[in-house]
Structure 1
Amino acid sequence: MTDTTEIAVLEIKPEQAPSLYVANGLERYLELIRQQVNEVPDLTTAKGRARVASLAAQVSRSKTLIEKPGRDYLRHLKESVKPAEAELRRFVTECDTLRDEVRLPLTEWEAEQNRIKAEQQMLEWHTEALADNEAFDKAARESFESDHEIALLLNDKFDRDAAGAKAEAERQRIAHEEEIKRQAIEQAWKEAKAKAQRDREAAAQREAQLIAQAEKEKAERIAAQERAEREAREAQERTERLAKEAREQAEREKQQAIELAQRKAQEEADRIKRETEQKEAARLAEEKRVADEAAKRAANEAHRKAVGTDVVKGLMEHAGLNREQAIATLKALMNNSIPHTSITY
């Protein structure tokens, strides 16, 4: 088989593509290619090795002849569904935009409510901290005044009991009391500062908790939005997948319908062919019967004519009759006009 013949055999026209590029639709072409290269060349000779290379190249050429129209057909199918995909994508995008626009007032209101709630919580915490600091300052002042009064009373008593003490002892006593007062005031201020620091830390912690809560709510809103977007994408992908499956199902049904129509057309053609062949056979049989009967009649006529000729001759030769008399006698015999006589043909 030459390359030209192979190309002619493997040529696929565009209108054949829908019925060929389906499951096992190319099997007969594959079988044909197998038959074309079904050889076992002798590899020990240069000619055999060249033949093997030629057969492999032939398979590649045959593959290209089948693959190229198939790829063209696939591109055509992909192009045919692009408008539907674009319109579906536009519809989903418009719906998502409309959904966000419709919900925007609610989203802004929720964000404002969260902000107001956070500000109110912070204000309450700061108010509590200030109240605690004021209470602590008042208690410190009262404690300081009480200690001062007690110290004055002690000084009076000490003065009465030690009126004759030396001035140096008095100075030491006063210095000692002043040191005690100083230490007491310093200790009180340290405790107040420590409490204020604890209050500030507690307020900062509450503020951090509030911020963390706000961040958590923000993260939850973002997560909810991402989840909604993901669900929308999944819905779009599911829609596209269902659309693709529907197109594939429609294509399969179309191919099945085409195959059914082709099969019915072939069956009808086979039926018509059988009927035509039967009619032709009947016509030929009838013609043969008519011809046989005509031939039989012609043969019988010739035989009867020959017998009649022989009878006329016999009557002329043996009965002394002339030709006209002999013919008249023959007609009488043929018409059974003479009793007890007949002619056997």
Structure 2
Amino acid sequence: MTEKALTIITQREDLPQLFGKRIDNQAAIEEIITKIETESRSITFDIETKEGQATCRSLAAKIASAKSTLDKAGKARKDEYTVTTKLIDADRNVVKDRLQKLQDEVRQPLTELEQREAQRKTQHEINLSMISDFTDLVGAHSSAISERITTLQDKVIGNEWEEYKAEALESKDSVLKALRTEFEMVKKREDEQAELARLRAEQAQREQQEREARIAQEATAKAKADAERQAQQIAQESERKERESKEREARLIAEKESAELRAKQQVIDAAKRERDAIEAERLEAERLEANRQANKKHRDAIFIQAKDDLMANGIDEETAKQVIKLIHVSKVSNVTIKF
């Protein structure tokens, strides 16, 4: 077959209709491609000669032309469908837009109702959580707990709670029970601490009085013994030196008075030293207690902050408290709370 026959193959008027067509599950265009391959490979030439080289060059150009012709035919066929496809897509968009708007319009009352219902339930759940928050009284004084109890008791759970009324009443009752139990425990602890402080104060006062009485008694006995000893010395001196008795007696009396004054002053000084020591002990105890309270407040603040951080990262409050407690008592390996 000649190169002219190759050109005739690609000049068929029905080329565009062959694209996209199937015959026995085989592309119709396959027949044209197969013929071009067969006819092209049947043309022989001697590449060592100029005539053969020209034939090779011409055949390659014919194949390129056939490729371009077939591709244009395929594109023409596609363009026919592209116009129809665009019209179909435009109609589909109209269908989707118009019917979506109609769907939204028809469903709008139901959507608004659902939104109101969701907001209503959310508000009820917030109100329920506010009741539960009444138990958040870490380290609180009994008076603060009592105020919470009174406030919660005065809170009326009426029909405005709707279907949440039963749950709200149950939560209120449960929280009140927990608050009352906590109040009794804290009040008992505070009363015990107050009683212990009173007993310690009374004991300290008794011990102080006993010490002062003992010091005064010892000082009086000592003064009396000194006076008696000095009186005896005076008597002995009087017997030995009768001539100087009056002068010596006057001097001894003065010494006695001075000794008694010194003894009394010693008693006063000793009592003052004792009181100063007790006051120093009291001030030191107050300082230690203040440090303990400050440390406790600091630890509580750290516990609360740690709990809030855990809750901010999605952990519920009870779990957060339990985690902090386990860490604090060294139940979690390699994890500590930094104070």
TM-score, with structure 1 as normaliser: 0.48
Which has the bigger relative contact order, CA under 8 A and spacing at least 6?
A: 1
Computing the radius of gyration from Cα coordinates, the structure with the larger value is: 1
TM-score, with structure 2 as normaliser: 0.49
